[in-house]
Amino acid sequence: MMTSVKTRKNVLLKSVFACSVLLFMVWLMLPTRSPLDLGQAHHTNNNSNNECTKPFPGKPLKQYAVMIDAGSSGSRVHVYRFNYCQEEPQLEKEVLFHMIKPGLSSYKDDPVAAAHSLDELMEMAVQNVPPELHHCTPIAVKATAGLRLLGKELSDKILIQVRAHLTTKYPFPIAGEDGVQIMEGSDEGVYAWITVNYLLGKLNPSQRGNSAAIFDLGGASTQIVFEPIFPTTHEKMADGDHRYQLDYGKDEPYALYQHSYLGFGLNEARKHIKESAIHAWKDVALKTHQVHHPCLPANHTETITYESTDITLIGTGAGASQCRAVIEKLFGKDQSCTLSPCAFNGVYQPPLADTFKLRDLYVFSYFFDLSQPLGMPLEFSVGELGTLASDVCDGRAAELLKHVPGVDTVLASPDLCLELTYAYSLLRTGYDMAQERLVKTAQKIQGVETGWCLGASIAMIDGYQLCKA
């Protein structure tokens, strides 16, 4: 069952309040520092000599939470440990992160197998939570874009089997009716925004107006969430589903812009980009059963099914510019923009150049996975990502990156040119970022996995207090 907008906002309010309490407590424990240190990331140090031994009345001293991110390309388990030294839960540590492939959506014809695919994750979670706390450790399985793409009938069958399997085989209580569900794209993005800004210490009231933006590139979708600040007082964000008002204590609510582009994740985009060559030369492709593609290496061949016909794609190795020309058509920049200005696909977005000039901009998931094995720093410009894509597509990367450990294996992927060019084009053309715009990437901040799971976990334990009999 989907949560209502009102319920989602109330849950997010609790999440943010919990984060702010934690930040304030840690700030009190810190030695005297300059005001600039308030911008640094803070979270509870479980090895601190000041660790409390008495919980807030009516609360457990230690609270674990298990969150399974059932994404399109795989399922991931996060186990967090919190304490209740105060009324609200405070993060101590992410004690487990583990990923398996494939994702639940790969079992569309076998819901029982889908449920059992989570056993590896569940067994590790059981081992990482103290046995005496098993029955009071809530678990949630939140599916994202992969299951959304299957449609309601198939996805419901999978989720029913997942709930039944976890209930009967494992000791953790499922966190209510929404404990096993397909998460709405808006919640996914906003929870991730909370997680990142919490870990960076930017939810402190003194950091108001300094929040970071998040751009996530998953397998099936891409999300953007940021707090636009307009240069003049008479300008404001247009009303619509993209606007997410996040209440924050007694202060002015955060007016967040968020949008989730279903079908523009890397895996879905790769499929569309390969099929685009067939679309362009459909008559020839269906007659000859083959078509050339500029984003694939010279002489590389692979077969895909199109309209029940097997078509062989033949790579031309034509280079970055021709590959980019194919990919940029995917963004539909010429589509009607009913609410201006638009980013791509006819979707309204406040311009980053005007409303998000100097603040930190983080890119996650496949942005990290593509850039880091090729020796990119954790902060780079959009233009530098484009240069990397060009070096790969134009055949210069092997020589330029020979100092990077394991680079030969990475460069051997026939999809690397396509994927890097798509990641660059998404930022440059899709989201309309300047070449010189700096972005940061990370898999973890302060030792905690980035993404929506931490924000969702705080909300879960704050709103679910029952134990399993």
- What is the amino acid identity at position 213? A
Strands 62-70 and 448-449: unpaired
Strands 139-143 and 180-182: parallel
Q: Is 125 annotated as a binding residue?
A: no
Q: How far apart are CA 247 and CA 250, in angstroms?
A: 8
Strands 379-381 and 301-306: unpaired
Strands 301-306 and 243-248: unpaired
Report the DSSP beta bridge partners of residue 75.
70, 100
Q: Closest Cα partner for 262 from 366, 340, 184, 339?
A: 184
Q: Is 233 annotated as a binding residue?
A: no
Q: Is 221 annotated as a binding residue?
A: yes
Report the DSSP beta bridge partners of residue 97.
78
Which entry of 188, 384, 419, 449 is annotated as an active-site residue? 188
Separation in Å, CA 239 to CA 236, 255, 432: 9, 10, 21
Report the DSSP beta bridge partners of residue 313.
291, 302
Q: How far apart are CA 87 and CA 57, in angstroms?
A: 8
Q: Is 249 annotated as a binding residue?
A: no
Q: Is 245 annotated as a binding residue?
A: no
Q: Which two tokens stand for residue 52?
A: 């409390």
Long-range contacts of the stretch 147-156 (C-beta < 8 A, 24+): 147/70, 147/72, 147/104, 147/105, 147/182, 148/182, 148/185, 148/220, 148/221, 148/262, 149/72, 149/105, 149/220, 149/262, 149/263, 149/268, 150/105, 150/108, 154/108, 155/105, 155/182
State the CB neighbour count (10 A cutoff) for residue 306: 18
- What is the amino acid identity at position 327? I
Task: Give catalytic status of residue 177 as yes or no.
Answer: no
For the annotated catalytic residues, the residue numbers are 188
Q: Residues at the annotated binding site for ATP? A: 219-223
